[in-house]
């Protein structure tokens, strides 16, 4: 493991280039989201100095504090990837650029109503419960299209794809879940061709996710090192 954030980013981007080349994809079709949850703003600054612009946060309060801290760096894109309670949607609508974790129509409707018309539409992904009973988060695959329709009818939201956090049967090895997500993505893009993003793959399994066609990989530990468990967890 490299010992600083810039080196870890360089290494991850090199691997992304190698894997996408093997899959005959442009490297630009895979976006690395640096998951900075629980990490201090100094770590985000270090990643930013190394060229990183997409950051992922899980906790609304942290998203707000960090987005405000970096408000002059208007090229940062904040990805909200955590569970959403309905009393937190206003802050997410105000500070996030992309939300990966939509699993209820009510949350989508609140985000749309609270997104200011002066802002760009909020880009959203539907979180899929791809591991069945092993996971409590996300909609079941059979519920995907109904939620997609709700989102598509909301002008302040832009549906861009699907997200999953598979429960690994074996750490780092999720072929069934990744393939199932690819199949669902095909179903979704038949109706909504622009909703072609696939957010899957974390520090332990992102290389495999990428070979299956992930377009957004969410890397925390692999970029920022291990997290202390916090009051949130
Ligand atoms: C924490 C988190 C990540 C990053 O996890 P690592 O294993 O540290 O890479 C990615 N996605 C979500 C939704 C998370 O909560």
The answer to whether residue 125 scores a pLDDT higher than 80 is yes
- Cα 203 from Cα 30, distance rounded (Å): 15
- Cα 44 from Cα 147, distance rounded (Å): 33
Ligand 1 contact, 58 CB (< 6 A): yes
The pLDDT score that the predictor gives to residue 68 is 98
The answer to whether residue 232 scores a pLDDT higher than 60 is no
Ligand 1 contact, 84 CB (< 6 A): no
> pLDDT by residue (tens digit) across 39-68?
999 999 999 999 999 999 999 999 999 999
**86, 159, 151: which is closest to 123 by C-alpha?**
159
5-224: CATH topology: TIM Barrel (3.20.20)
- Cα 80 from Cα 73, distance rounded (Å): 17
Mean per-residue pLDDT over the chain, rounded: 94
Question: How many contiguous H segments (helices) and E segments (strands) does the chain have?
Answer: 9, 8
- pTM value? 0.96
Mutate to test the pocket of ligand 1, among 103, 220, 224 (most ligand atoms within 8 A of CB): 220
Ligand 1 contact, 214 CB (< 6 A): no
Residue at token pair 């038949």:
190
The pLDDT score that the predictor gives to residue 126 is 98
Residue at token pair 């987005």:
67
């Amino acid at each position: 493991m490299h010992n600083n954030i810039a080196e870890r980013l360089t290494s991850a981007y090199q691997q992304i280039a190698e894997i996408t080349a093997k899959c005959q994809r442009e490297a630009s079709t895979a976006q690395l989201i640096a998951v900075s949850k629980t990490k201090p703003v100094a770590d985000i600054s270090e990643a930013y100095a190394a060229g990183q612009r997409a950051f992922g946060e899980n906790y609304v309060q942290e998203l707000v504090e960090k987005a405000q801290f970096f408000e002059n760096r208007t090229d940062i894109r904040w990805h909200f990837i955590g569970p959403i309670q309905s009393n937190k949607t206003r802050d997410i609508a105000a500070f996030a650029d992309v939300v990966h974790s939509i699993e209820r129509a009510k949350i989508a409707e609140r985000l749309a109503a609270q997104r200011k018309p002066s802002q760009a539409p909020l880009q959203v992904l539907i979180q899929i419960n791809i591991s069945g009973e092993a996971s409590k988060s996300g909609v079941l695959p059979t519920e995907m299209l109904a939620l997609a329709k709700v989102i598509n009818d909301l002008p302040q939201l832009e549906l861009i794809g699907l997200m999953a956090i598979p429960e690994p049967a074996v750490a780092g090895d999720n072929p069934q879940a990744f393939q199932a997500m690819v199949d669902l993505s095909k179903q979704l893009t038949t109706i909504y061709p622009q909703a072609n993003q696939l957010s899957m793959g974390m520090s332990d399994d992102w290389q495999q996710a990428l070979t299956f066609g992930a377009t957004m990989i969410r890397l925390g530990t692999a970029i920022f090192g291990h997290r202390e468990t916090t009051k949130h967890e």
